Structure 1
């Protein structure tokens, strides 16, 4: 195999097309060559995934299962994780380890000078083989060559990154790269191949990394490789401009008038006819609870609820504003649009019809007055109100998503999971009031989640898990309040109240959740398997009959970085007290997040976790919406992996920081998953235009 690879390498110089070396994932999980990092970071907004068969242990390199994943959070910030399984050559099994890495590029250095980066491998870990810190500089030469030089300190028994290391990469084509390195102990030569971006949709690429040769005795004769994917995360392209004016110029003019106007030869419509046309078009799009009226002589007034563009409310807003600006052209100069949820106003948008039409047609800057201070915003002293027949009351809405409970990198295996189908029902009753219920259908599970096994207590089971009644009120100063009562997690009756405040532009947000849960059954006390039940220490701690949860959250959103930082403090479901910090980066409808948890149960040892997670939409941009019912997917499905830090072990430790937040809550239902405010809308203004022309 290696002779074939070397023969292929010999043919590369025959015809070359210079290409600047791109970032690739190393066998260690960070961006780099084979085992060494470079100062070229992962591309911002791109997710990297790799499976490899090389693992490093205290005794040396050997075959094993190595799962790497990473993301370019920003141009100068990269985070990655690694899940390694050390298989014993005799038994075929062994321990696993989950570790995290971070690399920071240094800004303000001219790119034609060099690039500089600092990094840490296995951040905060204790029981690991990968702990290392390093600084590395890289520079591009001759358009297709990149050289790197670095200094590291490492706990590796192989000497990897423990001293001066260096590397060189040559990329003769866009799809192939050859690299050589000295990792402070050994020298390696490798081949990196990627598929052309045109092969797969959305810029997804397949990658292959092959270790050709090494001076390390354990790596000389075996075949080591990595197989991976690179996935751009902004599927909608909401933050990139498009030439809408050219491709839609004809469409704009044909949409300005209805077929009835053309046939009758009447171009100057009355104010009532224009409002009626807008009402009909909004109803046809699937909007509900629509009301179109006249606020004053120059202003058309519109109220509506968007339950069809559920992935992101900004899509529904873009479609509604586009319809207004294209079909109200003769009798009004301005508009006022009130976006509602369960007849509770959540967003007020005001502006000039001509200026918004120029934004759509001529790529002019967006000029809107946007506010979430909606108390008393609904129409007052309006005339000639028209209402549609799309009523929202007592209309069931069912949301489906996969329920996934996992254990990753534990002392019992690489990956264990319990998979279920979750269905969530909502039925609106009256303004602000909704009944909800949630059912779980268990589908599959790995061995360790089966009855009597290690994770049996955490498996998902079939049954009705939750049902609640919610009442939401709008209060002055951008405050909303939701009171809830019902059943939670099978056996707990609960009473909860959530209050939320948001600043005018949406940059700052504060939540306060208070809840009491009372178990309606007395759970049997269980003992540890294989332990003598005559000893008190062999019995598990009894579950509390009553649980009080009090969680306060503060969130700051920065439009320039399109990211948010959130701090939670309080008492959580397991009655642990402490802090949870979350940094979330937005890429269209996909998010990446980093979390840090530090909580403690009274009279017990504190637990600290760091985690890397993501969320993706599991529903189309425009959902199915029948007149009598609706079926949809979850607009923000979340998954994360966590690793214990600050301990002398990586043993399985119960989770912490569970805020008990329901699927139906203020942030998701009324505030577009914290994406409802002028800061976010202006940052993603191109999506308003894109939604009108492409999402319908």
Structure 2
């Protein structure tokens, strides 16, 4: 199998074969036939955004203005979907605190559903769910259970709901029948415990990872003031690969051999994987001859590899080549800093491995010890040989050529070794030391390529978006700015970083003198400007110190420390700082500690943070991080309180979410001597108060001082470069490596 062919067929094959779910996002906040829930959920890594002209729980009270709801749903884990809902009515822009305002409800809430992991006859699924959690006004809260069975093209659902509010939709028994007419059309008949409906919906795939769904339904009864005609339009998409593809039971897809090997090798427990048996591809596909080395007249040299790495987007390159001798294969020791591949260390690693493997050739016994750096300090290490790397790309997880590096004596070692801090197992260290001692200094080749001064700036550009959603002041208020981030290396580990922000657009409530005026950039200026220094220390410890402006208002300094286990399962960190407000001269001394546990490497992390936050309030923050490729969804619960006599003296509790993802191409663009890329992580989120009877706008609680670049971002690859995380994302690394190998040079 050629690398171009592998790239064409394999990286997202599992997701491509997965059928789109028949259930649609209802305006009530769950996957449903029309308005009544089914036991089906959004698949793990799937997402949906829907718009409806109805709020089925209530009758429309205002003939003017708008009426409906927006729902955004995410498949966060196998069997678990979470849906955010924004229900609205009337004038969407006026201030509800003023009586002349012709607005109605602007209700922000969250709903969830979990499909139980049990097997039942007739392909029956069971699910439990809730609606309308969060905020001071929970007008639609209910709890329900539902069962769905599939009989050929029919989905039959029966359930029971218990309302916790008089206006909740589900009150007693409900049920539905969905008939799949073909791959695109489905008809549904339901009773949602209040009204009966007949509907039709149409599904149109817009690509492998995107689909459009539109639907219409007509009320058959008239027990409530529910909309007679209900229209719905939605987009469904795949956020990214998950470590273990989740397939609906009625249409399972056989995994590829390479995917099966990765699932087996992915360390879901900390036990050594010595008992794992890789599932190889057919021998015809595993022959390393698919990658031919350069001719003997143009064998790779240290200088040639250094120049090739420069062409692939690396700088500050050093290469040492020790030729084969005394029964030992040739060894390449490479150190390089990525300038083009900054959004993900996986992409940088794939580019560097491909740059070495392509000219060396898969038949060679040459070994590679690769170190990637950030600000000229090491952050990621890889160790392999050419034959094993070629086999790893085609599905191997272990390789006989790495026997000396096995966790258990006598077993094949990993075909590709990865390490965050370079503290290799004893067998690896002994082998490397032997290679260094046996190498002849006269025969070794060395090459160094700076690719320009280290201080050449690297730029990232993207939007700065601040929003207020579903408030009494308006349905959606916003402030949009253009942000230009800059990094300049001054010495190993020492760099300046800043974010220049230019205001672009904003809604009325962000204008001067309005409620949100203080939360938008008023003029062109730096949102942050910091001099930072970071250093990797032994035993998985790293530290960073920063001084300057953490934002437009606070200047001072902070120190961060981080410890992570080699497998990445556990991370402990601490932050201490001292800042002074530029205008009020108020001094803040944040002091925070956090612990993070990776339950499912590469996919799910839990984190607890406690201490004194930037605003002076004290308390804790609990968060759940869900990764889908480069997309991350963070759910959080926060409980903090400030000192008596301050603006934060009252105890406040919040729940919310943040969605973050990189923007633009994966590779930065070279503009002469500098590089320009999209934002490494664009983030947007919402939060709402819980546990309070009032719905008064509250800002500033639970803020943490954060440097844009450093320990928590580039050093740890946004907290995902532990060994287990990298192994769980082997499919993505294979795709990056194959893409680089297939690219012309």
Q: TM-score, normalised by structure 1?
A: 0.86
Match of residue 38 from structure 2: 38
1:257 and 2:284 matched: no
> After the TM superposition, which residues 284-683 of structure 1 pair with which residues of structure 2 at under 5 Å, given as runs?
284-294=311-321, 298=329, 299-328=331-360, 333-361=366-394, 365=398, 367-374=415-422, 383-462=444-523, 463-522=525-584, 545-559=586-600, 562-603=603-644, 604-626=649-671, 628-683=673-728
1:118 and 2:128 matched: yes
Cα separation, partners in 2 of 1:392 and 1:107, compared to 1, 3 Å: farther
- The 8 Å contact of residues 47 and 69 in structure 1, kept in 2 or not, is answered as yes
Match of residue 131 from structure 1: 141
Task: Say which of 110, 113, 116 aligns to 1:103.
Answer: 113
Match of residue 149 from structure 1: 158
Cα separation, partners in 2 of 1:250 and 1:41, compared to 1, 3 Å: closer
- The 8 Å contact of residues 60 and 158 in structure 1, kept in 2 or not, is answered as no
Cα separation, partners in 2 of 1:110 and 1:311, compared to 1, 3 Å: farther
Match of residue 214 from structure 2: 208
- The 8 Å contact of residues 53 and 66 in structure 1, kept in 2 or not, is answered as yes
Match of residue 281 from structure 1: 308
- Consecutive unaligned residues of structure 1, counting only runs of 5 or more, are 1-18, 523-543
- Consecutive unaligned residues of structure 2, counting only runs of 5 or more, are 1-18, 93-99, 246-254, 260-280, 399-413
Alpha-carbon offset, residue 238 of structure 1: 11
Cα separation, partners in 2 of 1:255 and 1:139, compared to 1, 3 Å: closer
Secondary structure at the aligned position of 1:108 is classed as coil
C-alpha distance in 1 between matches for 2:551 and 2:107 = 31
Cα separation, partners in 2 of 1:288 and 1:253, compared to 1, 3 Å: farther
Q: Deviations over 1:346-393 (max 9, x none)?
A: 122222322112122465656222222247999987853211241451
Q: Deviations over 1:234-278 (max 9, x none)?
A: 1899978699999x98998686334xx3xxx637x4xxx443332
Cα separation, partners in 2 of 1:362 and 1:170, compared to 1, 3 Å: closer
Match of residue 27 from structure 1: 27
Alpha-carbon offset, residue 492 of structure 1: 2.8
Alpha-carbon offset, residue 506 of structure 1: 1.3
Match of residue 6 from structure 2: none
Cα separation, partners in 2 of 1:104 and 1:639, compared to 1, 3 Å: same
- The 8 Å contact of residues 550 and 707 in structure 2, kept in 1 or not, is answered as no
- The 8 Å contact of residues 73 and 79 in structure 1, kept in 2 or not, is answered as yes
- The 8 Å contact of residues 124 and 148 in structure 2, kept in 1 or not, is answered as yes
- The 8 Å contact of residues 202 and 235 in structure 1, kept in 2 or not, is answered as no
- The 8 Å contact of residues 243 and 729 in structure 2, kept in 1 or not, is answered as no
Alpha-carbon offset, residue 491 of structure 1: 4.0
Match of residue 169 from structure 1: 178
The RMSD of aligned alpha carbons is: 3.1
C-alpha distance in 2 between matches for 1:626 and 1:249 = 40
C-alpha distance in 2 between matches for 1:74 and 1:61 = 38
- The 8 Å contact of residues 602 and 720 in structure 2, kept in 1 or not, is answered as no
Cα separation, partners in 2 of 1:363 and 1:85, compared to 1, 3 Å: same
- The 8 Å contact of residues 59 and 227 in structure 2, kept in 1 or not, is answered as no
Q: Is 548-557 or 327-336 further displaced after alignment?
A: 327-336
- The 8 Å contact of residues 203 and 231 in structure 1, kept in 2 or not, is answered as yes
Match of residue 16 from structure 1: none
1:266 and 2:292 matched: no
Q: TM-score, normalised by structure 2?
A: 0.80
Secondary structure at the aligned position of 2:732 is classed as helix
C-alpha distance in 1 between matches for 2:76 and 2:420 = 29
Q: Deviations over 1:380-415 (max 9, x none)?
A: 878532112414511111111111111011111111
Cα separation, partners in 2 of 1:20 and 1:435, compared to 1, 3 Å: closer
Q: Deviations over 1:309-351 (max 9, x none)?
A: 1221111112222333333358853221111111111122222
C-alpha distance in 1 between matches for 2:133 and 2:452 = 53
Cα separation, partners in 2 of 1:690 and 1:111, compared to 1, 3 Å: farther
- The 8 Å contact of residues 288 and 391 in structure 2, kept in 1 or not, is answered as no
C-alpha distance in 2 between matches for 1:124 and 1:249 = 54
Cα separation, partners in 2 of 1:251 and 1:687, compared to 1, 3 Å: farther
Secondary structure at the aligned position of 2:297 is classed as coil
Q: How many residues align?
A: 643
Q: Is 236-245 or 23-32 further displaced after alignment?
A: 236-245
C-alpha distance in 1 between matches for 2:454 and 2:572 = 30
